[in-house]
Structures are given as structure tokens and as C-alpha cells.
Chain A
Amino acid sequence: MSGPGFFDIPSDLQNSYFGLVGLHIEEALIPVAIGLAVALPLGQLCVRFSWLYPPVLWITTVLYAIPSLAFFIFLIDYTGATRTTVVIPLTVYSLVLLVPAIVDGVRSVPQETMSAATAMGFGPVQRYLKVQLPIAVPAIIAGLRVAVASSISLVSVGALIGNQGALGNLLQDAILYHRSELALNSVVTTAALAVLLDIALVLLRMALTPWMPRGDRAARRAARTAAVEPAARPTLEDTAA
């Protein structure tokens, strides 16, 4: 006997398999994007006025502790069973992960680099855009990786407020139609999405930071080159030696 297949999506979801995948990515990434857009200025404010950082961290952490379901139930009175109701809590969660990443990243810029930039006539805005932000990229992307993974998994909870869970709705349909393969499909696809997006972020970081030592082997090679370089040019250090 042949029932419906692994990729046959029940019609109540009004979507194909790839439609669900697209929807899932959209619902996961929009909150991260908004979170990043808010976290960047907020993080910079926290760096500039360090007294601001503890209360910001405290408030966002408390918000993080609220279960997403509670968020949905609270918001549904205002925004209804819409995508907005899913996006708002996920944005808050992204914010919690991104603000510390950005603050730590910007703070990791060495003091002498900042002094040099100031002494060369960079204003505060230029210094932020041209020195602090590029150097904070690895830390920011590390934060984005966690935020994206958590967002991907949390979108599924949107199924609880109706047709807003994308791949998460497959879990409900699995119960509804006694089709366990739909649950497996949901879990495997969600995991695959998380892994692929993570790889994409790592590749993005490598593209943006050619200035970082690449792994152990590259770092060793770099150290060796640096050590050998003076000898290759006798007018350098060894003239005095």
C-alpha cells in the first residue's frame, strides 16, 4: 500500500515543502535582521556610556527568560495570529544575544589602536565605522551564529498560534493525520537549515576578515614568515645586531 510521501505536505498548510522552507527562513531571519539593526546602535551606546550596559543587559536577560508561548499569548491581543506576533519575541531574543556580542567585539579593539585612530584625526563616527566595527566583525558574527540557530528553532513554536510555525506546523499535522514522517521531516529540515545558515555565516566571516590569522597552520606560517623576514633583508634588524 502506498500512502502520501515524505515530502507530501497536507493541504491545510497551503504551502509546498519548499514554500515552507522559504517561509521558515524568512520568519527566522527577519527577527535577526531587525535585532542586528537595533543592537548595533544600542551596543555602541553601551560602549560609549558604560553605565548603560548593566541595565540593558539586565532588561534583555529578563525578557529572554519569558517563554515564547507567554509572549505569543500576550501579543495576540494586539497583533493577532499574524507573522508580527512571531517576529516580535524572536527579535527580542536576537537582541539579547547580539548586544553583548557587539559590546564585547567593540571593546576588544586595543586601546592603542583607538588612540592611534584618534591621533590621526578620525572623528567618533569615522572611528566607529572604519575602525571599531570592522574589528568587531568576528565577535558580531559569532553572536549572529547563535542568534540565527536559536531563531530557526524558535520559529516552529509559532505553530501554536495558528499557521505561523512554518516547518513547525508539520509537527501538528503529524499528530493530526497520524503521519510520523512529517514530524521527522520537520526536525531534519530544521536542523539542516540551521547547519547551512551557520556555514553561510562562517563563510561570510572569512570573506570579511582576510586580516585574521587563519587557523593554527596559517598562524604558524605567519609567525615563521615574520621571523624570517628581517634576515631576508639585511638592512633591517641585523645591521645593528
Chain B
Amino acid sequence: MIQIESVTKRYPDGTTAVDNLSLDIPDGSITVLVGPSGCGKTTTLRMVNRMVEPTSGRILLDGSDITEQPVNALRRSMGYVIQNAGLFQHRTIVDNIATVPRMLGWDRRKARERARELMGRVGLDESLARRYPYQLSGGQQQRVGVARALAADPPVLLMDEPFSAVDPIVRKSLQAELLRIQQELGKTIVFVTHDIDEAIKIGDMIAVMRTGGRLAQFAPPDELLSSPADAFVEDFLGTDRGIRRLSFFTSDGLQLTAEPVVAVDADAEQVARATAAGSPYLLLTDAEGKPLGWVAPQDAAGGADKVAVGRLLPYGRPFAAGRESLRDALDCAVLSPTGWAVAVDGEGKVAGVVSQETIGAAIRSAHAEHRDGGGAGRASITKAGAAT
């Protein structure tokens, strides 16, 4: 655990970068420092590996003051990832990654072996090992940066706006990759960003900081979205925090109905029974149970196989029942021309359909349950939406 205790950083010119900050950063999870520029988030990160020394206060790592060990030993025990990767342009990819193991005295062959193993872990092809940084794209360079930070298997990873300089699509995949790697490795990660969406997506805990280096709120993302501490945090979160918060509610408990679902070989009698259930549209599936499209009951009255292809309405994007969040389910329902969302199982077969009204009811009861459950409600919260 990293404990930041009443830390202040004041520069000789009188500016205060960090003001009496106290923060307990839990082990094995991602803690995000987020805030507008000039809020001291990068300074805070740099104080953890002593690239900046605090004016007052102290920082403990597993209970002991970080100033007790030699500074370079401390730094080698913490991986560091930086914007634009900061690769050594004069070294090959494999030697970039092997830097810290080499400094720790590993022999060259073992260090390179480890580097190649890490290339696989961060999704880089081994054929890039002998290349130089200029031969890689920005996203690939950033992956090398992550691999280099992980090379000596440090328990702590410090990441300073690591994905800010790459385009949105690459950023999304790097975020997903980081979450995947974190699931395997369980590092203690301190992550700095100015992007609140990135913070919510990857953070287990989020520290919102405000200009002048003061902590505005320290909370898990769903709590941040549901109960911002003050107007500053609320404003920083943006306008659609209610919708975004739905990412943290699983679609597990959603009442799916299979009544309006008919297979393509259903006869007139089966169609009539489905119609009697009262839904305005029927969902047609193929022989394997995969969705084909919505159809009005009168168009299918003569049997599902008589439906003209032109009469089918697109079913939009289905959501994975249980695995994706209520936000995904609601999104599917909003996008669907019938107002109903299609839920599929792991194999893409229809698990049922659900209306906007039912989703709305589920949201209300999830909110209620969360309020009553308090902290315990966190157990039911998933990051389902984050990994997609």
C-alpha cells in the first residue's frame, strides 16, 4: 500500500503544486489521479518515485518511508510509463524493454528472453524485437513503454498520461489491454490522466484533484458518478453521469422475455400464440436461434416462413445478457427501431428480448438496491462495460 500523508509541494516561486494531500492507495488495484491541468496530479505521481521531493509530509510504501531506501533502488522497484512512451531511440525494442533487468544485473540473454516474453504479453509481435523505436507506430511504442515498465516485475506501476498522445481508437485498445494485463498481474497502479472518461473506465478508485493541488473527492467510480462531493466534481464529471453510471450495473437481473421470439420455421399457430402475448413486434430467429429481425404480427400471421425479407426491421446491436451492463442494454433498446433490446448468450443465440420500460424499472430497482446496500452494494457492480 502507498500512503500519502499530508504531502505539500511548494516551489520557490511560491506556487503550490500539491496542498496537504493525504491518500491511501490500495494494493493490487488501479488508482487514478484525475483533474484539470495544474491540479498537481503529475507532481503527486512524481513524488511517489521521488522525481519530485515534497516540501512537507511523507509517503510510505508498505509502511516504511520511501526516503529510507536509495533513490535508484526505489525507482527500479516501480515501473514508469510516460506520455509518448519516452523510448530510448538508440536501442532496439528488445533492449529498451530489457533496460531495468540489465541494470539489476541480469545477464543479457536472460533479460532479452524476459523482454520477448513481455512483448507477447502486451500484444506486440516478436518480429518487432530487433527494430528501433522510429520504425513503430505511436500505439506500438506505447505498448513497448508498458512492457519496459513491467520488465523487472515491479509491484508498483506509475503511469503518467500514458495514452493521451495516441488517437482515440488506439487509446481504447490500449485501455482494454491494460485492464486485461492488470487482471493477470494485479499490480498496484497509480494512473494520471486529465480525461474523466478514461478515469472511470479503468479506475478502481478515483482521486479527483482541483487546481491548487487539493483533493476534491476520493471514491470508486460509481460512487463518484452517483454522489459527487461538490459542484466542482459534478461539473468535472460532465452532464451525462447518470447514463454513464449505468455501466456499473450488471444486466444480470434484467427480466428477459422469450414470448415474442419465434423461429423462422414457426407455423401460423405458434405465431398466433406469440402474438397473443401482446407485444407489438415479434423477433424472428434463424434455425440456430440467432436473431434475424423484427416483424409486425400481421406480416407473420400466415407462419414465420411466409414473412417477406423486405418486411423485416433490423434488430440493431444485441447485448450480451449478464455480461454487459445496463448501460449497454439501454443503448441497444434506444437504438432498436422497435424500442426493444435483443439479449444474446455467449454464442450469439437469442436469450430473450426486453423493452425500454423493463430496463427503466431495472435501473430504478438497481439504484434503490445500491442506496440500501450502501458499500456492500459494490459487490454487485461490474466493469462489464469497460472491457468491451
Residue numbers of A with Cβ under 8 A of B are 110, 112-113, 115-123, 131, 134-135, 137, 209-213, 222, 225-227, 229-230, 232-233, 235-237, 239-241
Residue numbers of B with Cβ under 8 A of A are 49, 51, 71-76, 78, 80, 82-92, 99-100, 103, 123-125, 128, 132-137, 139-140, 145, 148, 158, 169-170, 172-173, 176
Q: Which residues of A contact B73 (CB under 8 A)?
A: 121
21 residue pairs A–B, Cβ–Cβ below 8 Å = A112-B86, A116-B145, A119-B49, A119-B80, A120-B99, A121-B72, A131-B90, A134-B90, A135-B88, A209-B90, A210-B132, A211-B132, A226-B135, A226-B140, A229-B136, A233-B125, A235-B123, A236-B139, A236-B173, A237-B169, A241-B169
Rounded to whole Å, the gap between the CB of A117 and the closest CB of chain B is 8
Besides A112-B84, A121-B103, 17 new A-B residue pairs in contact (Cβ under 8 A), listed by A number: A112-B86, A119-B82, A120-B80, A121-B72, A135-B90, A211-B89, A211-B90, A213-B134, A226-B137, A227-B137, A232-B125, A233-B125, A235-B123, A236-B140, A237-B139, A237-B169, A240-B173
Which 5 residue pairs of A and B lie closest in terms of their CB atoms, listed nearest first?
A: A116-B86, A112-B86, A240-B173, A119-B80, A121-B72
Taking A112-B84, A113-B89, A119-B49 as contacts, is the C-beta distance between A237 and B173 under 8 angstroms?
yes
Q: Which residues of A contact B89 (CB under 8 A)?
A: 113, 135, 211
Q: Which residues of A contact B90 (CB under 8 A)?
A: 131, 134-135, 137, 209, 211
Contact: B75 with A120, CB < 8 Å?
A: yes
A236 CA / B128 CA spacing, docked (Å): 13
Q: Which residues of B contact A227 (CB under 8 A)?
A: 137
Number of A-B contacts (CB under 8 A): 105
A134 CA / B133 CA spacing, docked (Å): 15
Q: Which residues of A contact B100 (CB under 8 A)?
A: 120-121
| Closest residue on chain A to residue B71 by CB atoms | A121
Rounded to whole Å, the gap between the CB of B130 and the closest CB of chain A is 10
Contact: A116 with B51, CB < 8 Å?
A: no
Taking A135-B89, A211-B90, A230-B139 as contacts, is the C-beta distance between A240 and B103 under 8 angstroms?
no
A112 CA / B78 CA spacing, docked (Å): 17
Taking A110-B86, A226-B140 as contacts, is the C-beta distance between A116 and B170 under 8 angstroms?
no
Contact: B125 with A120, CB < 8 Å?
A: no
Contact partner of B75 (CB less than 8 A), chosen from A119, A209, A222, A229, is A119
Q: Which residues of A contact B139 (CB under 8 A)?
A: 230, 236-237
A119 CA / B158 CA spacing, docked (Å): 10
A210 CA / B289 CA spacing, docked (Å): 58
Q: Which residues of A contact B88 (CB under 8 A)?
A: 113, 116-117, 131, 135
Q: Which residues of A contact B135 (CB under 8 A)?
A: 222, 225-226
Taking A235-B123, A236-B123 as contacts, is the C-beta distance between A123 and B86 under 8 angstroms?
no
Contact: A229 with B137, CB < 8 Å?
A: yes
- Which residue of A119, A211, A232 has the most chain B CB atoms within 10 A of its CB atom? A119
Contact: B123 with A115, CB < 8 Å?
A: no
| Closest residue on chain B to residue A227 by CB atoms | B137
A121 CA / B79 CA spacing, docked (Å): 10
Q: Which residues of B contact A209 (CB under 8 A)?
A: 90
Q: Which residues of B contact A116 (CB under 8 A)?
A: 80, 82, 85-88, 145
Contact partner of A211 (CB less than 8 A), chosen from B91, B137, B140, is B91
Contact: B173 with A241, CB < 8 Å?
A: yes
| Closest residue on chain A to residue B104 by CB atoms | A121
Q: Which residues of A contact B83 (CB under 8 A)?
A: 112
A118 CA / B167 CA spacing, docked (Å): 27
| Closest residue on chain B to residue A113 by CB atoms | B86
Contact: B87 with A113, CB < 8 Å?
A: yes
A118 CA / B160 CA spacing, docked (Å): 14
Taking A121-B75, A211-B132 as contacts, is the C-beta distance between A112 and B137 under 8 angstroms?
no
Contact: B128 with A229, CB < 8 Å?
A: yes
Q: Which residues of B contact A232 (CB under 8 A)?
A: 125
Taking A116-B80, A131-B88 as contacts, is the C-beta distance between A123 and B158 under 8 angstroms?
no
Taking A116-B87, A237-B170 as contacts, is the C-beta distance between A121 and B137 under 8 angstroms?
no
A110 CA / B78 CA spacing, docked (Å): 22
| Closest residue on chain B to residue A241 by CB atoms | B169
A118 CA / B85 CA spacing, docked (Å): 14
| Closest residue on chain A to residue B91 by CB atoms | A211
A227 CA / B71 CA spacing, docked (Å): 39
Contact: B173 with A239, CB < 8 Å?
A: yes
| Closest residue on chain A to residue B160 by CB atoms | A115
| Closest residue on chain B to residue A134 by CB atoms | B90
A123 CA / B74 CA spacing, docked (Å): 12
Q: Which residues of B contact A226 (CB under 8 A)?
A: 135-137, 140
Rounded to whole Å, the gap between the CB of A239 and the closest CB of chain B is 6
Q: Which residues of A contact B74 (CB under 8 A)?
A: 121
Q: Which residues of A contact B123 (CB under 8 A)?
A: 233, 235-236
- Which residue of B85, B100, B137 has the most chain A CB atoms within 10 A of its CB atom? B137
